[in-house]
Amino acid sequence: MEQFMINCIEILPEADGLADRSLYKNLKAGKYLLNDYYKLEDNDDNNLTRNNKFLSSSFFYGKGVNIQAIVGKNGCGKSTLMDLLFAAANNYGYIIDRNENGEGESHALYIADLYLRLYYTQGANDYVLTFKDQEIFKSDITRELVIDESVVIQKRLANESFCYNPKDSKVLSGSYKGKGLNYEEERLALEKFFYTIVSNYSIHSFIDQNYTAAYYAPYKQGHTIEIKSRSEAASENKSWIRAIFHKNDGYFRPVVLNPFRENGNIDVNNEIELSKERLSSLLVYYKKSGKHVLLPYIFKHFVLTFNQGYKKKCFEKLIRSDAFDFFAERRKREPQFIPTKEMLDIYEKDLKLINDSYFVSEENDFLKKILDTFGLPYKDNEIAKTAYMYLQLKIIKIIHNYGPFKKFAYAVRYDFGLKKFFLLPPLIDYLFENILSDDSHITRKIRRTVNFLALANNVFCDSYKWDEAAFFNRFDFIDKSIFLKEKDKDNLTIDDINDCLPPPFFEYELYMDKVLTDGIKPDISYRQISSGETQMLQTLSIHAYHISNLLSVPHNRIKYDNINLVFDEVELCFHPEFQREFINRLIIMLKAFRDDYKIKGESKGETWKCFFNVLILTHSPFILSDIQPGRTLFLEESGEPNYVLSKRSTFAGNIGEMFYESMFMENTVGQYAEKELNALISEFNGLKKKPVRYLEVKKIIDGVSDSILKHLLIEKLERES
């Protein structure tokens, strides 16, 4: 049965011998089984075998979805175990592309002293990926666990050896050196891994300073590898986790953390605005399909406001973009060229002389090419001009930031002498052919803007005033979309809806109807809902956003069809009812993505499948009540796995019993109440001789809520007093 699961994370013995164990905290070497796919024979940590009684998740949560949980007290190592998984994903991505993807702070660090194994099932195959400091090697295993410590599949940081064919003679002879990976090899390497999307809203999580680690300085051909200590990394203000937040790599590096943090700080207002956009496509999709995953809320309408200053902001970013590199030609001739201060001063003066009117005029050949490509007429209108400025900026950012488009980097350059854009044929034609054929997340905002212009051009004139009610009326922006003309409007995918949302130069408010047991409360603004409701909607939508982007990538690029979702402390801000409903909401959402993906593949005459593994770190018995038997790892306070508890089923379990057994609680009443009741019990002996105090104690016992506990206390009082 095809599926995707992470079965075990093993910390290797070398980790215990490290002088600096900050990566591992209280976790010791050993295997941490995340489910019962494997079993340890006779509690021997080295004897790992397949479990013949394993129940495929395909029979439980539906095809392609596996859900697992990790439980334990605060400080037991749940989050540390996930940090090691993120570190492994970071190093795997780094060692494949040699840190070529990403800009600025998105540049990764290769973490030293990582000694780890990941055991996972992908499709019908089992894999073991081993991390030993500078080496990463992978065993391709089917049905039977076999770890080949020789060079089956490996890549070393210290040279450029890499191959995914274990029979390759160069690999077997150890002579596969001096050759980096080409794009196709990178693509295949990453496709055989998985992408991890993480959400953790705890304000004390993912703080940069807590993620300094020893790292290897970027490798250069012909040089030796230089290791930097943890203290050196801290003094350089380098944190390995920082790059995982900065998603400027086109989903190359196989992990992303949410919400975005800047040195540990979350911009809550920005997150609300982002989640509003992410949530909108889901709400509209569910409204049209009748799948109300986000109840009690149902999409009602948008209210849009044109951002008057957006055009100016785009212009300022545009003239600072790579297309305006004054020294580009010089750098091509002289790679080591560094401009002098005088040269930079002249460059700055030239930038200040650039007039923004050229970029939104009919004289601009770049703009003319854009409009001709999409069949749009030119309109002398402020809203249209903002769209024109944005489209130019977006296209230039795409060709300089995203791997598949970087070959078009010189298709558009600004000529400071002629004071106009220079378009390089035939590269410029190939660029727009690729933009037209691309239907991934990379070009999504181009489609939104073009769709808007196509609809708005019919009403634009010099005196036009924006009227949201007349333009974006309910679903007109979808039903009339130029990109959906040939599609069945009753069977649209989430991606289809996503492409038709308002373009980025509109600020908009999302309004919803709230469905209550006694009726509907209409027209509620997204900013008016409670913090717990916001948390639930944000948590689901942030994963939906990344899933949608990942699945939108075409198969001739780096493509992840296996997606790992990690929810750390998912119950934060959730009422118990939201906790109880969470997994069911998640399953319906993931099924919608799987169904959409299948439909999208069928439209191209292909069979497309995607698979989800879900890891939930929780303290909530309401969550555990929905976890399939054999899918929960229980960690003791010491960080040791408790496999006796792991064998017990929590599915449809009694919530009260799970508070006591599954949450490692020694008592099920408040600590103050426990202390006071014990103090009362100490008074029982001979208490009837003190009738006033006896009545006081009896009155306190009468206030005990638990009827069984109250009965036992009264019985003990009568017997001993």
For 336-350, 611-625, 669-683, which range has the lowest pLDDT when averaged over its residues?
A: 669-683
| CA–CA–CA angle 567, 572, 578 (5° rounding) | 90
Q: State how far the Cα of 343 lies from the Cα of 16, in Å rounded to an integer.
A: 55
Alpha helices in 502-603 (DSSP H): 531-552, 576-603
Residue 140 has pLDDT above 70, yes or no: no
Q: How confident is the model at residue 108 (pLDDT cuts 50, 70, 90)?
A: confident
224 C-beta neighbours (distance < 10 Å), count: 8
Contacts of 299 (CB under 8 A, 6+ apart): 280, 283, 284, 286, 287, 510, 512, 513
| Mean pLDDT calculated for residue range 421-430 | 93
pTM exceeds 0.85 for this model: no
- Residues 395-423 have pLDDT tens digits of 999 998 887 788 898 899 988 888 899 99
Instruction: Tell me what percent of the residues of the chain surpass a pLDDT of 90.
Output: 21
Confidence band of 302 (pLDDT split at 50, 70, 90): confident
Length of the chain: 721
What local confidence, expressed as pLDDT, does residue 163 receive?
A: 36
pLDDT at residue 678 in the model: 79
Retrieve residue 348's tokens: 């700055």
What pLDDT, on the 0 to 100 scale, is given for residue 388? 96
Give pLDDT, residue 149: 34
Residue 162 banded pLDDT, cuts 50, 70, 90: very low
Q: How confident is the model at residue 424 (pLDDT cuts 50, 70, 90)?
A: very high
pLDDT at 156 over 60: no
- For residue range 711-720, list pLDDT tens digits in order: 778 877 888 7
Mean confidence (pLDDT) of the chain: 80
Query: Looking at 84-93, 362-371, 388-397, 485-494, which range is the least confident one?
Result: 485-494
Residue 350 predicted with pLDDT over 60: yes
Look at 461 and 361; give whichever has higher pLDDT. 361
pLDDT score for 387? 94
pLDDT of residue 154: 41
Helix (H) or strand (E) run with residue 652 in it: none
pLDDT digits (tens, 9 = 90+) for 260-294: 887 778 888 878 877 887 888 888 888 877 777 77
What is the DSSP code string of 44-67?
Answer: -TT-EEE-TTPPPGGGTT-TTEEE
Best-predicted range by mean pLDDT among 209-213, 214-218, 372-376?
A: 372-376
User: Does 697 have pLDDT greater than 60?
Assistant: yes
Distance CA 54, CA 64 (A): 16
- Dig out the tokens for 352 from the structure: 């200040």
pLDDT value of position 28: 93
Alpha carbon distance 675, 384 (integer Å): 70
Predicted local distance difference test score (pLDDT) of residue 469? 59
- pLDDT above 70 coverage of the chain, percent: 81
Q: Is the pLDDT of residue 710 over 70?
A: yes
Flag whether pLDDT at 202 surpasses 80: yes
| Cis peptide leading into residue 502 (ω within 30°) | no
Strands 195-199, 562-568: pairing is parallel
**Is the predicted pLDDT of residue 170 greater than 60, yes or no?**
no
- Hey, CA dihedral for 180, 185, 189, 191, is it positive or negative? positive
Q: Average pLDDT of 671-696? A: 80
The reported pLDDT for the residue numbered 44 is 60
Is the alpha carbon torsion for 99, 103, 105, 106 positive or negative? negative
Q: How confident is the model at residue 144 (pLDDT cuts 50, 70, 90)?
A: very low
User: Maximum CA pair distance of the chain?
Assistant: 106
Contact predicate 533/577, CB 8 Å = no
Token pair, residue 632, equals 């929960």
Q: Which amino acid makes up residue 573? A: C
Averaged over 295-304, what is the pLDDT?
Answer: 84
Average pLDDT (529-551) is 86
> What pairing do the DSSP bridges indicate for beta strands 297-306 and 265-266?
unpaired
Q: In what order do the strands lie in the sheet with 611-618?
A: 255-258, 195-199, 562-568, 611-618, 65-71, 632-634
Higher pLDDT, 124 or 490: 124
User: 699, 621, 281, 291: which is closest to 478 by C-alpha?
Assistant: 281
* Ranges 82-86, 89-93, 418-422, most confident: 82-86
Kindly report, residue by residue over 621-663, the tens digit of the pLDDT: 888 888 888 888 988 888 888 888 877 777 766 655 555 454 4
Residues 596-610: tens digit of each pLDDT: 888 888 888 888 899
Residue 15's pLDDT is what?
93
Q: Please answer whether residues 75 and 624 qualify as being in contact, where contact means their C-beta atoms are separated by less than 8 angstroms.
A: no
